[in-house]
Amino acid sequence: MKISSAICTLTGTFQIQIHSFITGKEKLLLYEYMEKGDLHRWLHELPAGRPDMEDDTGGDIWEVAEDKRSISDWPTRHRIALGIARGLAFLHQGWAGSGRPVVHGHLVPTNILLGEDLEPRISDFGHPSDTTPEGDVYSFGVLVLELITGQAGWDEASVSWARGIIRDQKGLDIVDPRVRDEAGGGPETSTVEREMVECLRVGYLCTAQSPEKRPTMQQVVGVLKDIRVAPASSSST
């Protein structure tokens, strides 16, 4: 398991840490514990994107009924997208001295785990396949489309459908209504909508049919950082 040994040396902020691995007839990886589960769960299984339901016995279906943190707000979704992009950019730099990028090979929401503050960690990377960094960029683009629209089950046809809408400058028609509702109306909603449409554009660029036309993940990080500038905190008087 040379790849596991090498991956254990990667210490990027946005990759899940592998504490140990076992080789032999049975091969096991020991990851750090990510208590909030995966991104797919938060996007598609939790009501309103937050764990506030209880079962009929009074127990919590989603671990902590009082936990009102949500990914229905735009700043959180943008932070998740940017964190994943940074993690992939780090992987594509490769480990020290190898001169070879680490390619994930299977970037999907179930492989994005969330920590206490909903910070993302990329897991299950290093698949032995013929996937290239450009293939990872495409997968990231699909993930961005899912993150912004809130829709699951993406395939080649649905990516083509979304790209057509974005190309026609109608991206606002497919953004997740939960995020627009969270903005609460007013000027802030207009800003959120503009930034989400710009983020959809990133998904569009990453899913270009020709791999050579796709941006690098380092370029994607730069674009995502520019899309949303955190509001300045008001000074105390």
Q: What is the pTM of this model?
A: 0.80
| Vertex 78 angle, CA 198 and 235, to 5° | 105
Residue 186 lies in a domain: yes
Residue 56 lies in a domain: yes
Helix or strand (DSSP H, E) at 219: helix 217-227
pLDDT value at residue 168:
98
Residue 7 lies in a domain: no
Beta carbons within 10 angstroms of residue 186's beta carbon: 8
Percent of the chain with pLDDT over 70: 67
Residue 231 DSSP class: P
Residue 11 lies in a domain: no
Residue 12 lies in a domain: no
Beta strands in 150-200 (DSSP E): none
For the segment 103-114, what is each residue's pLDDT rounded down to a tens digit?
888 999 999 998
Q: In this structure, are residues 4 and 126 in contact, taking their beta carbons and an 8 Å threshold?
A: yes
Quote the domain boundaries for residue 81: 34-227
For the segment 119-146, what is each residue's pLDDT rounded down to a tens digit?
898 887 656 567 899 999 999 999 999 9
Residue 160 lies in a domain: yes
And the tokens for 201? 């554009």
- Domain of 137, CATH number, reads 1.10.510.10
Residue from 71, 8, 7, 5 nearest 36 by CA: 71
Q: Give yes or no for residue 17 having a pLDDT over 70.
A: no
The average confidence (pLDDT) of the chain is: 79
For the segment 156-171, what is each residue's pLDDT rounded down to a tens digit?
999 999 999 999 999 9
Residue 141 lies in a domain: yes
Residue 44 lies in a domain: yes
pLDDT value at residue 50:
58
Q: Give yes or no for residue 198 having a pLDDT over 80.
A: yes
Q: For the chain, how many structural domains are there in total? A: 1
Q: 163 vs 30, 158, 159, CA distance in Å?
A: 38, 8, 6
Phi, psi at residue 112, to the nearest 5°?
Answer: -105, 110
